């Protein structure tokens, strides 16, 4: 994987920006720096301003693990779409009754063990279409993760479990992932290509689903197994990359 500011990265960026691309971004760790409490996450002004400029010229979407309304409230521009819950929220045909029932199984387990949830410092983020269990605040993170793994074994209906940065996400088996959402948005907006930028393992389905002439960027240097084409060192380079995107757009 090469740096997106390398010569190859610059050439790929220039090529994709001339093809009426959809620009899609993960939120936490990508547009907003990661913070100890997810409720405090904020998009820096340098990033907000450039996103607004891009959104005036091409479709700009956010595809996030957050609830869509939560992410939208943190943006100071109007994206063409905010897709929440890792791809499951924002399209009209979801969720089904079976989907809701599967999620209710996890809610029941959590409700039945309030003392364990408290003891392990778990923060439950119920986003209707998916549930995230954060253990960032846990005094003993290994013990908290072991508790969550034990919980997974007791689920009454199978859920898709994905392990992120100090968070475990639960969605229903039929839930679309970020890659499904990205492909759908490209078709919906009749775009010829896409750019997708994310920072975490749950962004990998979007990297993997990209066509070879799209552009995918993973933030962070240490992801050798990533399917993204390019990387950025860290979130602080986002404003610079957005500026390069704007500069590469045909007038």
Whichever of 9 and 29 has its CB closer to Mg ion, that residue is 29
State whether residue 97 is helix, strand or coil. helix
State whether residue 22 is helix, strand or coil. strand
Q: Are 5 and 230 in contact (CB under 8 A)?
A: no
Whichever of 33 and 105 has its CB closer to Mg ion, that residue is 33
Whichever of 102 and 176 has its CB closer to Mg ion, that residue is 176
Q: How many residues bind Mg ion (CB under 5 A)?
A: 5
Q: Are 62 and 70 in contact (CB under 8 A)?
A: no
Whichever of 48 and 202 has its CB closer to Mg ion, that residue is 202
For the CB of residue 219, give the shortest distance to Mg ion in the complex, in Å: 8
**Which residue, judged by CB position, is nearest to Mg ion in the bound state?**
29
Whichever of 199 and 244 has its CB closer to Mg ion, that residue is 199
Q: Which of 9, 21, 29, 179 binds Mg ion (CB under 5 A)?
A: 29
Mask 144-183, x = binds Mg ion (CB under 5 A)? ----------------------------------------
Q: Are 75 and 61 in contact (CB under 8 A)?
A: no
Compute the distance between CA of residue 14 and CA of residue 123 in angstroms, rounded to an integer. Answer: 42
Which of the 8 DSSP states describes residue 16? H
Does the footprint of Mg ion cover residue 26 (CB under 5 A)? yes
Does the footprint of Mg ion cover residue 125 (CB under 5 A)? no
Q: Using CB under 5 A, which of the segments 13-21, 42-50, 148-156, 193-201 binds Mg ion?
A: 193-201
Mask 196-225, x = binds Mg ion (CB under 5 A)? ---xx-------------------------
Q: The dihedral of CA 188, 67, 129, 178: what is its sign?
A: positive
Whichever of 147 and 198 has its CB closer to Mg ion, that residue is 198
Calculate the alpha carbon distances from 241 to 94, 142, 201 in Å. Answer: 34, 36, 21
For the CB of residue 93, give the shortest distance to Mg ion in the complex, in Å: 25
* DSSP character string of 105-166: HHHHHHHT-HHHHHHTT-EEEE-SSEEEEE-TT-SSHHHHHHHHHHHHHT-SS--EEEE-SS
Q: Which of 16, 17, 28, 70 binds Mg ion (CB under 5 A)?
A: 28
Compute the distance between CA of residue 172 and CA of residue 177 in angstroms, rounded to an integer. Answer: 10
State whether residue 226 is helix, strand or coil. coil
For the CB of residue 198, give the shortest distance to Mg ion in the complex, in Å: 6
Q: Which residues bind Mg ion (CB under 5 A)?
A: 26, 28-29, 199-200
């Amino acid at each position: 994987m090469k740096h997106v500011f390398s010569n190859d990265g610059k050439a790929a960026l220039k090529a994709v920006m001339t093809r009426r691309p959809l620009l899609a971004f993960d939120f936490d760790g990508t547009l907003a720096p990661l913070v100890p409490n997810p409720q405090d996450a904020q998009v820096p002004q340098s990033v907000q301003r450039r996103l607004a400029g891009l959104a005036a010229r091409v479709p700009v979407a956010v595809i996030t693990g957050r609830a869509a309304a939560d992410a939208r409230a943190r943006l100071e521009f109007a994206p063409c779409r905010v897709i929440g819950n890792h791809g499951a929220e924002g399209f009209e045909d979801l969720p089904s009754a079976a989907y809701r029932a599967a999620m209710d199984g996890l809610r029941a387990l959590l409700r039945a063990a309030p003392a364990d949830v408290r003891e392990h410092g778990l923060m439950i983020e119920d986003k209707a279409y998916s549930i995230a269990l954060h253990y960032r605040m846990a005094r003993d993170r290994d013990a908290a993760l072991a508790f969550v793994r034990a919980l997974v074994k007791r689920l009454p209906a199978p859920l898709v479990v994905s392990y992120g940065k100090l968070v475990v996400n639960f969605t229903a088996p039929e839930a679309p992932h970020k890659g499904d959402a990205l492909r759908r948005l490209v078709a919906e907006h009749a775009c010829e290509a896409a750019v997708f930028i994310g920072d975490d393992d749950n962004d990998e389905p979007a990297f993997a689903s990209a066509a070879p002439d799209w552009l995918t960027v993973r933030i962070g240097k240490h992801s050798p197994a990533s399917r993204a084409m390019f990387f950025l060192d860290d979130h602080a380079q986002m404003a610079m990359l957005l500026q390069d995107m704007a500069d590469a757009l045909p007038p």
